[in-house]
Every structure is written in C-alpha cells, then in structure tokens.
Structure 1
Amino acid sequence: QPSNTVPLILFVIVLYVLLSNKPHVLCAKCPAVESQSTQPCFCRTNSTGGTIVVCNGDTTIQIKNYFQTLSHSMPEDTGSLDELVVNNTAITSLEEHFLSNITFKRITIKDALSLNKISANAFGANTGTVDEFVVVGESQIGTDTYANELFDALSSLTKARKIWLDRNKLTAIPSVAFGKISGADYRLNDLNFNTFSTNPGFIRSIGNYAFYYLNRLRHLYLSHQRIDYIPANAFDFERPSNQTLYVYLGNNRLNNTSFERGVLLNAKRPVHLELYWNHKLTYLDEKIFAPFLMADKRNTIRLGDNPLACDCKSYWMVRDKDRFKEQISNVKCKVGPNKVFSIDLIPFDQCNRKKAARDREKGAPTPQISQESHVVEEILDIQPFTNNKRLTNEFKLEETCLGAGSYGVVIKGTNKIDEKPYAIKLIYFVGDEDTKEYLHKEFNKRLNEIRIWAKVGGNTCVQYRSSWLESEEESRKRFVNYVSKSADYVKNLYDEVLNFKHFAILHIQMDFCLFSLKEVLHKIRDHFETAGKRQLLPPVGYYIAAELLVEILQALHNLHSLNIIHRDVKPSNILIKYEPDQRFIRLADFGLAVEHKYSEQSHTKGAGADRYMAPEVKNSRRYNLKADIYSMGVVIQELFNFDINTIEKQNNGYQDNYVKLTEITNKCLNGLNTSRPSCHDMLKSRAEWTLPYNEIKDFIHESVKTGDNNPFDPNNEFIQYFLRIKYETHECIKT
C-alpha cells in the first residue's frame, strides 16, 4: 500500500504547483505598462484564460509606441498572445512593424471606421504566428491607393488559415494577389472578401492567377460584390488537390458573357460553384460550363434563386441530363413575368439538332453570303483538297502534342526531306449524320485562316507552309490518339463528335516555335522573383519586357499595314522562335483574323478571348484595326507585371519609363477606339519607355559571363539566351 500512495501524493503536489503558477504565467504575458487606464491599449485575460490586447476608443492613438513599450516589459521567451483587437474609430493606418516583436495567434479589426492603410510589412514578426486575420464592420481598407500594400500584408501571413475582410473598399482582386514567397507554404483555407450585407461590396474584377499559390484554399467568398467578368485563369492553382474548392459568386453582376472560355479548367481540384442572384445570367454557356463539368465529375454548379431564360442556349443541360444531373442543381426556368418552373418541365423540341438537320434541304453545297464582306462566296468541294496519308508519308511524328483545345491539336513533325521540325495543326470538323453539307461549310470557314495567313510574309509572324485535308479512318484514329493524351476537358470536347460518319481533318503545316509568350512571362516572373508580388520588374526584367514589346508592336504593325485585324492578340498566340536574324517574336493563330479592306469598313462580329477583347467587339458594335490595340493594352500589363488600376509609384530608378508606359497602356484601353494609338505611334515613342542598353550593360555582361561555361537549354534558359544575343549584338561580337 505505501508504495502506491507515494507516487500519487507526488503527482498531486506537482499538479497543485502547476495550477497555482498559471496566473503568474498569464501575468508575465500581460505586464503592466505604466497605468492601463492611460494607455491606448490594454492587456486582459478572457473567460477561457486567453490573453487579449484591446486597442479601442474614438481618438487617434499611437499604437506602435504602445507595443514598443510593451515588448520591453515582456520576457524574451514569452509565447504568442491569443488575440489583438483593434476597435478604434480614429486610427487611419497600421504602419510597418507596428506590433514590434509582440506576436499574436489572432488579429481582429472591428469597426475601425477610419482605417484605410495596412502597410506591406505591418505584421512583422507575426507572419508565422497569426492563424486568423479578421476585419469586421466598416473600414476604409482596400482603397485603390493602398490596395497593393494590403495584399502584400495579407500575403505575408503565410500560416493564416482564415482571412476575412468585411465591408472593405477593394475594387479589384489583382493578378497573383497572393504572391509567391520563398520557402513559404500558404495554409489559407478560408478567404472571405465580404460577409452577407444589404449593401454590395465594390469588387468589380478578378485578375489572372489571383489565388494561384493558395493551394490549400477550400472556401472562397466573393459573393455580394459587383463582379461582371471572370478571366480564364482567375481560379488556376499551382498544385493539384483532391479537396473541393467552394467558390461563392452569388449576388454579383455576372451575365452571359462574363466567363472567359477555359475558366476553372486549370483549378487542379474539384470545384463547387455558387451562382445565385445573378439576374443578368440568363443561360449557362455550353462552351464554358460543359467543359468544366466534364473535366471532373466532382465539379458542381448551384444556381439557387437565379431562374434562366430556358431557350435553346440552355438545351444542352436537358440533352445531356444523364451526364450532368448530379452536377447541376436548382435549375429553374422563368416563363412569363411571374412563373418559374423546373427545367425538366420545359419542352425543347425546337432545339433538337437532328430534327433541325432533317428539316434542312438536302443536296449539294450552295453559295453563301459572307457576313464580313457582304459578297457571294462559292462553297468549295473538299475532295480536290484531300490528300490522305500525306502526314505520315512526309513527316516523322512525335508522340506527344504541343497543344490542344477547342481548335484541335498541334503536333510536331520532322520533314523527311529537309529534316527540319514543323508544327502541324490538326483541325477536326464534322457534318451531320445524314448530309455532308455542314462538312463543306465548315471547311470553307477554315479557308479564311489559311488565305489570310498566306498573305503575311516576313519574319514577324509564324510562317504558313502548306495545308491539306485527310478523311480516312486512319487519320481519325491518329487524331483520337493525340486527344487521348491531352487534358480531360479536351477529351470531353470531342467526346460526342469523334464517331460521326462525315468528318475531315484539316492539316496546316507551319514553322515550329519553342514556346509562347505566356510561358516566357512565367519564366521572367520566376527568374526575377516577382511572380505574384505585384511589384515592378527590376531593370534587367524591364529591359527584356521592353525589347519584346518592341518586337510585338513591329509584328502587329506589319499585320495592320496589310489591313488585317488579328482579333485574338494574347500571350498564347505570340510565339518565341530562335533565328539567326535575332528576332524572337512571331505572331500566330490567324483563325479569327479578318481583312479590313478599306478605311471606312467596320466589323460587328464578336471574336477573341474576352479578357483581351475590346468593348466594341464584346458588345458587337462596329470595330476596326484599333480592336487589336485594346488587346495590346492588356498584353502590356501582363508583360510588365502591373495592373493599370492599382500600379503605384516606386523609386526604382526608371520611374519615368513606367509613367510613359502606363500612359500608353491607358490610351490603348480607351473605350473610344479613335483615341487609341497605332502600333506606329507607340514605336515612335519607344525611346521614352524602353531602357537603353548602355544603362544596364553591366548587368547583362554579368549574366552572360555566368552562363558562358554552361550548355544552353532554351527551354530553361530563355532569359540567359536573350541577354546573350543582345550583348553580342550591341558589343559586335561574332559567334
């Protein structure tokens, strides 16, 4: 018995000592700083034993001074306090390192009515300790003047699992809003930009790759805002996850053209999309949402109180009901002014494609009226242009494809005679089961791309080489094989048409390029560690971007001098090619190009990617060559890593260049196309926005020396190669 009693007595004594010392530990965490009643903040213990610092009142306080004094009164080994509550209506800013070396697990800002600025380095030592950052009630944070600093501050909270910004003044979520921080792994799970309120927020737009590095994000609340456009890469993520991402976009200003094609296809995780209370959204575009649903069976859409106008544009949801019935919920149709029915009760007989095909007149292709030129065009028969087996007879093909999408696939083949690599675009198109008429029409549509492309010479565009048709089953099997190696959404695009009886594959042979400007932009940002910091490029990065911009403008100027509107200018259609002429940029993809035959001519047919599309094109108003200039305004922002709506002045030694560049960008984005500059105008002023080689040649020389002894790999070392070419050109070095 005694042997059992002694350990028990010792345990009780130890437990008593620990419990009796607990208030002393809390007291060490909350030392007195003179008189608590005279301080702007005070430290207290809450009902659960946690330590809280509260800064309240309605007069301006020196919060930074308080924490500097507090830090001197606390032992060095003191852990993080539980919570900071800022409940002061007069404080206007949280300055750099305002908490000194005091750390917290939670930071709450409540009814800070005058707070408009949170400095980029405001949280200092707290970047690795804060688990929750919450703003509740009214404040002024997020105004355009300080928006970038706010996102830099939020990006520094890499360990935070929850960030809520209630009733803020943000007007936009910038591109790569949460930037890449070396060695950081964001833990953010819950991101909320506005809890429910009778008054909507002010956010109108979301930038590309806005949440790219938030790989653990589960809930993204963007509801009750004024968002009317979602770019294709808004919800792209860096790494895959099996956890569903819930995206709340209810009660915004989304409409039928708000979603750019390809949106949500690179989320790399299941996505649940909430779209309630978007009353201008009258149908779900099949080209946008069907690929999203087919990309992952776990992807879902909930419409809620958002009845659709159930015409033929909504028919696909009924036609493919068996496929999508578990993925789309709450689909209601508005019939008349006050009646709402389930979509299952709406007849869609008039929308049945096969019925419409049987009703069409059978027979040979007939002449058609061109919407662009208003002249009669002969519909050509496809047979004379068919050359089966040419692809395999003339080229050694690689197994993987260079790219794939709704346009088809692009593969690489080496010509067996000249042994040069070429890119070959395979465009698959079909006719209805019982007629070839549609097949002929589709072929003639594709001729526009070839005919315009063939007119473009020189070294500013990817060169067209030849084209032909193949229509044998062997060609179809080859196409299916390439599609099978593509992303799931690409496979789903062709799922229904690959077995059609009438088909043909248009082959377009062109020069091979290593990669696109879109890929180069990632290389530049990663190289200069600006991939998401929303900061201006360093001098060498700016020099590279400016030199590339000159080449892009020269290429587009060449196109416009031939009176051709590209209509799809974007980084993925600007390719990079290494040539002895030392030009890098090649314009590509003329599938949407159109001739502008005389100065008074205008066009009204919408074409291109929404993000880069001029407002007059998007709204089907008359447009001309200046539509491409608007697209250039968007490309310039991506090329130089800034957002025209939130760019701030920085003392980087070449601010004047950026000022001129932003002036040009603003002009390019002018809603009135007559106020936009031409490519020639921008090239004339290049001395004002480019960086002279002599100003940074020392940086370039150092980069060239570093790579002298290394074998060149253009896929990984584009920047080094680019600088070496510029160095050899300017220094007159022969290689």
Structure 2
Amino acid sequence: MFVIIKIIALLVSVWLRVSLGAKCPPSPTIAPCSCAQYINQISCWNIKPDVNLTQIFVNLTKALGKNSKQIIYDEFKLIDSELTDIGSDDDSVEDFFAGVAFNKIQITKNRKLKRIHNNVFKSSFNITTSITISENAILANDAPNERQIFDLLNSFEFATEIWLTDNNISTIPEKAFNRSQNSLAWLSFIDNNIVSVGSHAFYSLPALNYILLDGNRIDKISNKAFELSNNVSNYQLLRLFLRDNDLNSDSFESGTFERIHRKLLLDLSKNNITHLKRDVFTPVFRRNGSAIILRHNPLVCDCNFKWLYDRRLLYNSSHHDRHYYVHNIQCNGTKHDGFKMNELTQSHFQHCPHDPTVHCFMSTETDYDYQC
C-alpha cells in the first residue's frame, strides 16, 4: 500500500509540473527529428553523426517560447541512429537537451552507439519514470563504459522501471545501483551477455519488485549479489528471474539467498540444474508464499531432493493449498523419464538415509524454526 501511495503521489507531482507549452513546434524547426502531437512525443530516427541534437532542442525551446514552466514531453525516442556517443565530456555543454525533459526515454537499435554520457538527461533526472535502452549492439561493452551506464541510470530519482535489454553488457558491477531510488520497482537486463552480478548490485532499491536477468550467460552467483536492504516489509514479494542462463547446482554460493530478507519468487527455468542444495536454498522458504520454478532443467530426483519432500516444500495434491512449493518438476534418469511429474511421493525416497534434522525446518504460519 505504501508503494502504491508513493507511485500515485509521483504521478500527480509529474502531472503538476507538465508545461502547457510542450506542444509540437513547426516541423522544420526540429528536423530531422519529428513531433507527434497526439502522444506528445519527440522521435529522432536515422540521425547521422553530423547532426547537432542539442541545436535541435535549442530551436525547439525558442519556437515554443521559454517561460517559467519547464518544457516536458511524454516521450523521447532515439532509434536507428549512427551516433557513437550521446552527449560529451565537455563541461561547457551544460544541458544537452536545452532544458527539455521527458517522462519516458527510449534509445533503441543504435548499432554504433558506445556511450551515453552522464549529464545528457540532466533536465529529466527528477521527471522521467520509464527508461528503455535496448538493442544497441556495442553499448557499454568495455569496463569503463559499463560502469558509466549504471551511474547514468542512478541519476533518475523517480524512475519506476528501467529496461536495459539486448545490448552487449557483460557484467552488472558491484554496487551498480548505489543511490537510493525509492520508486524503482522494475529492472530488466534480458538478453545481454551478462556473466556476473556484483555484490550489493541492487542493495539501495527498497521498492524493487522485479529483477529480470533472463537470456544471459550467468554461471556463478555470489552470496552478496542479491543482498537487499531490510528496510522494507519482509512479506513484500521480490520476483527474481534467472531463466535461460548457464546455472547449475554448484553455481550458487552458500548464503546467496540468506540476505534477501523478502518473500521470493525465484524462476530458474531453462538452466542446467540437477538438484537444489539444502544449505543454499533453505532460506528461500522462510516466508510464506515463496516459491522456486524449475521448468526445463535436467533434474535428477534422487536423495538430493529428499530434504524438499521432508519439509513439505514440494507440490502435494492432497494439500494443494500449502504455501511452499517447488514448481514444475520433471525428473530425468528415473522410470518417469520424459513425463512431467506433478509430485514426488515417499516411494521415491524410501531408500534414502533418514535426516535427523527434519523437524528443525517444518513450516509454521510464519517462518521456519532454525533452532537446531
């Protein structure tokens, strides 16, 4: 409820700041960019390297006439340009967009784009709520520029969603989001070339509900990669998607999920996982409503799965309303090979050694008892 109220307050605040002067100027004023009046959008397609974007927006502000209100458009799009850099390290360029701000920013399919400089969108830092930077083939594909793109994203104080997808980013650095962004709920890094996530990468994002890391090359998860501040409700759901990576049963350090302090939906579909290690995954189930999805993994449901069955974490058709589930189990290397298993039963584990610590982890209405 608190997050919803904050989002509503943000939207009202942005609406109050919108200038009535943010209308489309005469077309030649901003050519080769264009303005769509019906959606209040500035689009710049196929921009060549010799085009001065700053001058375009200087012309725009002159055409509209500056007044006491800031000029704000609903959206800015930069698509299919031939630019290698947006902005400059030149400190004399105080405002790349000449004071014009945008509620949404989309930078897509710029095949030569290597870098977006930190202060390019300075006028939008306290305005923009949605950022999409996608399909830029060589963006931030070296270490200095990789760190810099996250420094830029850190500056959008009121962003609620960031899509940094299908670029050529290889790592999410340590403390990638190192400023508190209290409205940021959605982060997508789908289809990059990410191999690692640094420690405390998302620590300062109390409103975070979604982290999407699907379609990357992650093969190791450090025990502090997903550590989050505990300044939020323990029952606020975090959805962490790690589908279609290179993860296996040994990819997770002990303690990986110990520091999340949140109810968790963890999707590990389409990896190379054969079983879930108890010391790694037990903390996931501390909160009612937590779940792990294991669709399309080469699971071997041998004695390594017994701890999940003993702790009543697997689906049970007799108790279908139970809070704790491990979903979409399909076992390999058993007589059930090739069939989707709705549930495992005691018969699958009758040959396994007895676990004397089972009672230490039996679920209650709140958390597990870790006294043993």
Same fold (TM over 0.5): yes
Return the letter of the residue paired with 1:172.
T
Distance in 2, Cα, partners of 1:226 & 1:261: 20
Contact map agreement 1:141 1:168 (CA 8 A) in 2: yes
Contact 2:58 2:98 in 1 (8 A): yes
Structure 1 runs not aligned, ≥5 long = 1-24, 195-199, 358-429, 433-479, 481-487, 499-735
- 2:23 corresponding residue in structure 1: 29
Q: How many Å separate the matches in 1 of 2:53 and 2:205?
A: 31
Judge conservation of contact 2:301–2:331 (CA < 8 Å) in 1: yes
User: Normalising by structure 1, what TM-score?
Assistant: 0.42
5 Å-filtered alignment, 1:278-297, equals 278=271, 280-293=272-285, 295-297=286-288
Aligned to 1:187: 183
Residue type at the aligned position of 1:204? V
| 1:243–1:79 Cα change, 3 Å | farther
Equivalent positions of 1:645-656 (< 5 A) are: none
How far residue 341 of structure 1 moved from its aligned partner, in angstroms, is 4.9
Return the match for 1:108 from 106, 109, 112: 106
User: Matches of residues 292-307 of structure 1 in structure 2 within 5 Å?
Assistant: 292-293=284-285, 295-307=286-298
Contact 1:170 1:203 (8 Å CA) reproduced: yes
Q: 1:208 aligns with which of 185, 191, 199?
A: 199
Q: Report 1:51-62 matches (<5 A).
A: 51-57=40-46, 59-60=48-49, 61-62=51-52
- Shift of the 83–314 alpha-carbon distance from structure 1 to 2, 3 Å rule, reads same
Instruction: Describe the SS at the equivalent of 2:247.
Output: coil
Residues 291 and 492 in structure 1, CA contact (< 8 A), matched pair in contact too: no
Kindly indicate whether the alpha-carbon contact (under 8 Å) linking 1:272 and 1:300 is maintained by their aligned counterparts in 2: yes
Q: Which residue of 2 aligns with 1:147?
A: 146
The counterpart of 2:240, out of the listed 221, 243, 247, is 247
2:231 is the alignment partner of 1:269:
no
RMSD: 2.8
Q: What code does the residue aligned with 2:185 have?
A: N
Q: Using the alignment, how far apart are the partners of 1:309 and 1:289 within structure 2?
A: 17
Offset at residue 339 of structure 1 (A): 2.5
Q: Report the Cα distance in structure 1 between the residues aligned to 2:226 and 2:131, rounded to whole angstroms.
A: 22
Alignment partner, residue 352 of structure 1 = 353
3-state SS of 2:331 partner? strand
Q: How far apart are residue 153 of structure 1 and its match?
A: 0.6
Counterparts of 2:200 and 2:315 in 1: how far apart (Å)?
A: 28
2:117 and 2:177 map into 1 onto residues whose CA distance is 15
Gaps of 5+ in 2: 1-18, 89-94, 317-323, 361-365
Report the CA distance between 1:203 and its aligned residue. 0.1
DSSP-derived class of the 1:151 partner: helix
User: Which amino acid in structure 2 is aligned with residue 166 of structure 1?
Assistant: T
2:78 aligned partner:
86
Helix, strand or coil at the partner of 1:69: helix
Contact 1:297/1:327 (<8 A) preserved: no
The 2-side partners of 1:115 and 1:244 are apart by 36
Residue type at the aligned position of 1:71: T
* Number of residue-to-residue matches in the alignment: 326
Amino acid in structure 1 at the alignment position of 2:54: K
* Aligned twin of 1:167: 166
- Tell me how far apart the structure 2 counterparts of residues 341 and 30 of structure 1 sit (CA, whole Å): 57
The 2-side partners of 1:283 and 1:267 are apart by 21
Q: Deviations over 1:404-436 (max 9, x none)?
A: xxxxxxxxxxxxxxxxxxxxxxxxxx9x9xxxx
RCO comparison, higher one (Cα < 8 Å, 6+): 2
**Contact 2:32/2:47 (8 A) holds in 1:** no
The structure that is helix-richer by fraction is 1
**Cα 1:322/1:151, change in 2 over 3 Å:** closer
* Matching residue's letter, 1:133: I
Structure 1, residues 653-675: CA drift from partner, whole Å, max 9, x if none? xxxxxxxxxxxxxxxxxxxxxxx
